[in-house]
Amino acid sequence: MMRILFYFGKRLIFVIPQLLGIVLVSFLLVKSIPGDPAVLMLGPTATPSAIASLREQLGLDQPLYMQFLIYVKDLLHGDLGTSWQTTRPVLEDLIQRFPATLELVTFSLLLAIIIGVSLGVHAARKPNGWIARLADIYGLSAGALPDFWFALVLIFIFYTVLGWAPAPLGRIDMIVLPPMPITGALTIDALLAGDFEAFKSASAHLVLPVLTLGLLNAGPILKMTQATMEKMLESDFSRYEILCGIPQNLVVRHALRNALPSIVTIISVLYGFLIGGAVLVEIVFSWGGAGQYAVQGVLNSDIYPVLGFVLFSAVFSLIVYIAVDLLYFLLDPRISN
């Protein structure tokens, strides 16, 4: 136990400067976006004195480093600033939208894991078989497809032509009342509320975006599974198990167990990546998630939503990495030694 605590302490020492760096870079970046928020907020007819007083109120008259220090101080108090587009605190906006992104990304990741791991394991069992060939081609082409276009293809086929999928306009039908937000994930909230109608609608809306992200992002998981499994199946202990007459399925299962740490690592990296990587798909499906919120912020000189989103995704990646570290302790008895 001490060892685990020590491990996380060391990890945090590395992580906190990195978080600060992320905040600093994004602050400078977004600050250098031209356009005066005070002018944008008050509109072209505002008087110079009104603009000046608003600038003062927003702290925009302070030197840049002061603005940064104020921002960091506010951050520590849980204040991520205010979006002038929604006129609401960014933290509230993000808490409302982040679950939408998280729900989309999590289901997509699950799909990617199912595809990547099962295809990877089968490809590794027969490195020269047709599944290995298929996995090879799939890995190459999935990474090459633009997700925003692939989403359109799916919309055209399943919404426009076949009419199986709902219109790509948000997370739930307009006429369906969304369930009381508990987790923020509509499917789960609907189930918790026992609202089957809402669950059906929310799941139907998830299908196409999840298919898009899941299919196109399975590549890295597939590659990692295939490579690690090939190595594990050629390893001394797999060969020894075969020499001991252990059935092939069990040998493969044991090899997978040994390959799991590497696969989990790539999955965690992908999870963090997808939070920001889902932006375009969110836009195509009018998902109303955190990524879409950030992009609108950039396009409208609304800096705090962008900063908030970058921070949220960085912290999220961090949480995932820490969870994965914990998982390693469970997966591999050698680590705790």
Partner 1 sequence: MYSKLGLIARLAVIRPRFAIGYIIVIAITLLAIIAPVIAPYSPTEADSTSFLQVPSAAHLFGTDNVGMDIFSRAIYAPRIDLTIAVLGTLLSALVGGSIGAVVGFYSTGRGIRVWLSFAVMRAADVLQAFPVFVFAIALVASLGQSIQTVVLAIAFVNAPIYLRLMRSQVLSIRSMRYVEASQVNGLSDMQTIIRHVIPNAMAPVLAQLSVNIGWGILLTSALSFVGAGVRAPTPEWGSMIAMGFQNVVTGQWWPSMFPGAMLAITVFGFSLVGSSIEVLADPAKRRELLSDLRERRTRSGLPVEPA
Partner 2 sequence: MAIAEATSSTKNARSEALSPLIAVKNLRVTFPAGGSEPKEVLKGIDLEVQPGEIVGLVGESGAGKTTLARSILGLPPAPGRISAGEVFFENRQILKLSEPELRRLRGRRLSVVVPNPRAELNPLLKVGDQIASMAKIHLSVSGKEARRMALQMLRDVQIPDPERRMNAYPHELSGGMAQRVVIAMALICSPAFVISDDATSGLDVTVQAQILALLAKLAADHGSAMLFITRDVGITAHFCNRVAVLFSGEIMEMAPRESLFLKPAHPYTLMLLAAFSHSPKLRETWSVPDTGRRREPSAGCQYVNRCPLAQPVCRTQRPPFAEIEPGHFARCHFPVRHA
**Which residues lie near partner 2 (CB under 8 A)?**
234, 236-237, 239-248, 250, 254, 257-258, 331-334, 337
Instruction: Report yes or no: 127 and 120 within 8 Å, Cβ to Cβ.
Output: no
Which residues on adjacent β-strands are paired with residue 83? 88
Residue closer to partner 1, measured from CB, 25 or 182: 25
277 binds, among partner 1, partner 2, none (CB under 5 to 8 A by kind): partner 1
Measured in degrees and rounded to the nearest 5, phi and psi for residue 86 equal -95, -10
Q: What is the C-alpha to C-alpha distance for residues 138 and 131, in angstroms, rounded to an integer?
A: 10
Pairing of strands 88-89, 82-83: antiparallel
Residue closer to partner 1, measured from CB, 172 or 307: 307
**Residues in touch with partner 1 (CB under 8 A):** 17-18, 21-22, 25-26, 29-30, 32-34, 136-137, 140-141, 143-146, 148-150, 152-153, 155-156, 159-161, 167-168, 273, 275-277, 279-280, 283-284, 291, 294-295, 298-299, 301, 306, 309-310, 313-314, 317
Structure tokens belonging to residue 336: 């705790």
The H or E element spanning position 89 is strand 88-89
What is the closest distance, in whole angstroms, from the C-beta atom of residue 334 to partner 2 in the complex?
Answer: 5
Q: What is the C-alpha to C-alpha distance for residues 103 and 205, in angstroms, rounded to an integer?
A: 12
Residue closer to partner 2, measured from CB, 13 or 244: 244
What is the closest distance, in whole angstroms, from the C-beta atom of residue 240 to partner 2 in the complex?
Answer: 4
What is the closest distance, in whole angstroms, from the C-beta atom of residue 59 to partner 1 in the complex?
Answer: 19
Cα(first)–Cα(last) distance of the chain, in Å? 11
152 binds, among partner 1, partner 2, none (CB under 5 to 8 A by kind): partner 1
Residue closer to partner 2, measured from CB, 211 or 232: 232
Q: How far is CA 287 from CA 6, 101, 261, in A?
A: 41, 8, 33
Q: What is the C-alpha to C-alpha distance for residues 14 and 324, in angstroms, rounded to an integer?
A: 17
Residue closer to partner 1, measured from CB, 11 or 254: 11
191 binds, among partner 2, partner 1, none (CB under 5 to 8 A by kind): none
Residue closer to partner 1, measured from CB, 116 or 276: 276
Residue matched to tokens 């493969």: 252
Residue matched to tokens 């989403």: 151
What is the closest distance, in whole angstroms, from the C-beta atom of residue 337 to partner 2 in the complex?
Answer: 7
160 binds, among partner 2, partner 1, none (CB under 5 to 8 A by kind): partner 1
286 binds, among partner 1, partner 2, none (CB under 5 to 8 A by kind): none
What is the closest distance, in whole angstroms, from the C-beta atom of residue 113 to partner 2 in the complex?
Answer: 20
Residue closer to partner 2, measured from CB, 11 or 254: 254
Write 32-36 long-range contacts (CB < 8 A, 24+): 33/298, 33/301, 33/303, 34/301, 35/301, 36/60, 36/301
280 binds, among partner 2, partner 1, none (CB under 5 to 8 A by kind): partner 1
Residue closer to partner 2, measured from CB, 52 or 331: 331
What is the closest distance, in whole angstroms, from the C-beta atom of residue 156 to partner 1 in the complex?
Answer: 5
Q: How far is CA 304 from CA 4, 35, 37, 156, 275, in A?
A: 36, 14, 11, 36, 18
Burial of 10 (0-12, 13-18, 19+ CB in 10 A): exposed
140 binds, among partner 1, partner 2, none (CB under 5 to 8 A by kind): partner 1
What is the closest distance, in whole angstroms, from the C-beta atom of residue 163 to partner 2 in the complex?
Answer: 49
The H or E element spanning position 88 is strand 88-89
Provide the residue type at 126 as one letter.
K
3-state class (DSSP) for residue 126: coil
What is the closest distance, in whole angstroms, from the C-beta atom of residue 217 to partner 1 in the complex?
Answer: 13
